[in-house]
Chain A
Amino acid sequence: MSTAAFPAAVLPTQQIGSEPTSGPSTEQLLELSMGPQHPSTHGVFRMNVVLDGERVVRLKPVFGYLHRNHEKIAESETYLGSMPYTDRLDYICPLTNNWAYALAVEKLAGIQVPERAEYLRVIVGELTRLQNHACLVGFLMQDMGCSGTPLMYAFRQREMVLDLFEALTGARMMCNYMRFGGCRVDLPAGWLDQTKKVLQQFPRFLDEFERLLIGNEILMGRTQGIGVLSKELAVSAGISGPMARASGVDYDIRKVDRYGIYDRFAFRVPLGSHGDVYDRLMIRVLEMRESLGILDQAMRDLPAGPIVDPKTKIRGFRPKPGEAYGRIEAPKGELGFYLISDGSPNPYRYRVRPPSLINLTVLEDLCLGHNVADIVIILGSVDIVLGEVDR
């Protein structure tokens, strides 16, 4: 922490946001660089914060520390060769990344996905949502200073889901499971029974979590009215996912696009009314309950059959020239892949629309006027993964 000790090249203060219209003169402001090695930033992410006492006057997010050229590398890889790299975008939920990429390529090449593969995708996708949200509520508690125990409770649940992923795909996090026109492997013996067992424990975890924490007065005091995102700003800034829904924007791509087979499942889209951190936390808990319902229906209706379109070639895959944009409702928001093919084995252009990055753009608006300790939970409630923000 230092008072305006940054050289102009490191922190060009005149470019950070707009000058405060009222308040004390700039000599009394404190410039603080939070991150990139800060335990609350969920990765290597830096915020240049200008403080008036404890209050945030300006905030400038600085990212790119984890940039690894994902989009450019993909242009020199085959279409299949990018699939394992998509695992590493949002490394908390690799399976939804796989799904979005597979969806874009299938749109580009006009590949049909067999019924069973669609169901498998829904099952692993909703399991991903469960473990991502469980992970997030645990981390948010940690950010609030409720150290250790709630995070471990959430991680205990997440571990069980990761064990299922490992039994199915061979890896806990870098799953590399989806293929163009289906999935890589079928369910191993006993996997569905194991999944049912894990899902039976989930409502109990959620009940316990709500009983202990959601109604807790300290938590309410810390989160209610903090980091309010208005509905208008959420729409105009292109915010998607649980963050938009917490502000009352009824927008869920599972309902809007009905990609895959989501039109076959009955589920509700929970909406918030205040758009504060508490609503964002509650939306995640409610979405977990809805995901459990979708999983029950999908596992009940799972048909037998092939898991991959037999006409899709694994070697020498060359889609016809054209372009496609495939998007899904990832646990963090709208995840899209935009591809242009020129008929060669590698894409001509490959672009990711990451939900974390777009949701992060309103961080300054959320944080203005709040305390330093609130920045931490506001950032936590946005739910970012730096692998996806920086790509």
Chain B
Amino acid sequence: MLGDGILKGLAETARNFFGSYVSRDRLTTIQYPEQRDPQIEAARSFPFLVFDGADWQQGLRCVSCQICEKECPPKCIFIEKSKDKKPDAVGKPQFYPVRFDIDISVCMSCQICVEVCPFDAIKMDVDYDLSTDDRFGGLLLDRQRLAKSNEHYNKIHPTEAAAVDAALAEERAKAKAAAEAKASAAAKAATEAKAAAVANPAPAPQPAAGESQ
């Protein structure tokens, strides 16, 4: 029949037009800035640095090992290592970054920095409305703007963060146990040494003999 295809097409259009009044999932538009789709857990936009506790400078997990700087495919990370050390997430004294910049106008959100980081210090954020009118300063994030709390990390990637927290807690417990064992061993050694010293008095100090010559 002539015009068969046109009628078929129009029937399809009519079905969808009236269907959109009946079924909610045919209406896919949301009012964006006010209304937002819930974020999925695997989402990623740009990296951020995780810190524990309240003070971001004290709590930064990054130990400035510069692996991510080397592995980053478009080379958008810049790190300057500190001269002194501060305790890291486990409690071991480590270097920290005095400068940590990520140029997110170069970053391609590939997540390789996250995968290579041995300290769980850098993770992917889910923030997406990052447009700015300052194309140089606004897109070159320094460590203060990159630092986000562990609570934030737990909020955006709950499953992944829980696993990281568990691993870190285990390591902290291990470090604590090791420190305690070391302390007790030292104390034991000290008491033993004291006991030995009491039992047989110390011999004449050798250095004094050396000095006399």
Contact = CB atoms under 8 A, between A and B. Distances in A.
Interface string A158-170: 0000000011111
Which one of A77, A217, A218 has the greatest number of beta carbons of chain B within 10 Å?
A77
Nearest to B160: A185
A169 B108 CA distance: 14
A314 interface: yes
A171 interface: yes
Contacts of A185: 42
Interface string A312-337: 00110000000000000000000000
A216 B5 contact: yes
B5 A314 contact: no
Contact of B73 (A81, A168, A218): A81
Contact of B108 (A149, A174, A208): A174
A171 B108 CA distance: 11
Interface string A205-237: 000100110001110000000000000000000
B42 A188 contact: yes
Interface in B105-126: 108-112, 115-116, 124
Interface string B71-82: 111000000000
B44 interface: yes
Interface string B41-68: 1111000000000000000000000010
Contacts of A169: 42
B34 interface: no
Nearest to B44: A170
B144 to A, nearest CB: 26
Given A170-B111, A216-B5, A85 B42 contact: no
Given A85-B73, A314-B115, A170 B5 contact: no
Contacts of A81: 71-73, 112
Interface residues of A, number: 28
Given A80-B71, A315-B71, A315-B116, A168 B108 contact: no
Given A77-B73, A80-B71, A166 B110 contact: no
B9 A174 contact: no
Given A81-B73, A84-B110, A176-B110, A167 B9 contact: no
Contact of A212 (B12, B40, B71, B124): B12
A78 interface: yes
A82 interface: yes
B8 interface: yes
A84 B12 contact: no
B108 to A, nearest CB: 6
Interface in A101-152: 149
A211 B9 CA distance: 10
Contact of A80 (B8, B9, B42, B112): B112
A78 B71 contact: yes
A217 B42 contact: no
A90 B115 CA distance: 24
B73 A166 contact: no
A137 B129 CA distance: 33
A210 B80 CA distance: 61
Which one of B9, B40, B110 has the greatest number of beta carbons of chain A within 10 Å?
B110
B108 A170 contact: no
Contacts of B110: 83-84, 174, 176
A208 B13 CA distance: 13
A314 B41 contact: no
Given A77-B73, A217-B5, A174 B42 contact: no
A174 B73 CA distance: 14
Contacts of A166: 40, 42-43
Given A81-B71, A81-B112, A314-B115, A168 B42 contact: yes
Contacts of B111: 170, 176
Contacts of A211: 8
B12 to A, nearest CB: 7
Contacts of A83: 110, 112
Contact of A167 (B8, B42, B115, B124): B42
A390 B182 CA distance: 62
Contacts of B40: 166-167
Nearest to B13: A149
Contact of B42 (A170, A208, A314): A170
26 contacts: A78-B71, A81-B71, A81-B73, A81-B112, A83-B110, A84-B112, A85-B73, A166-B40, A166-B42, A169-B42, A170-B42, A170-B43, A170-B44, A170-B111, A170-B124, A171-B44, A176-B110, A176-B111, A176-B112, A184-B115, A208-B12, A211-B8, A212-B8, A212-B12, A218-B5, A314-B116
Interface of B: 5, 8-9, 12-13, 40-44, 67, 71-73, 108-112, 115-116, 124
Given A85-B73, A212-B9, 10 more contacts: A80-B112, A84-B110, A84-B112, A166-B42, A176-B110, A185-B42, A211-B8, A212-B5, A315-B71, A315-B116
4 pairs of A and B residues whose beta carbons are closest in the complex: A84-B110, A170-B42, A81-B73, A170-B44
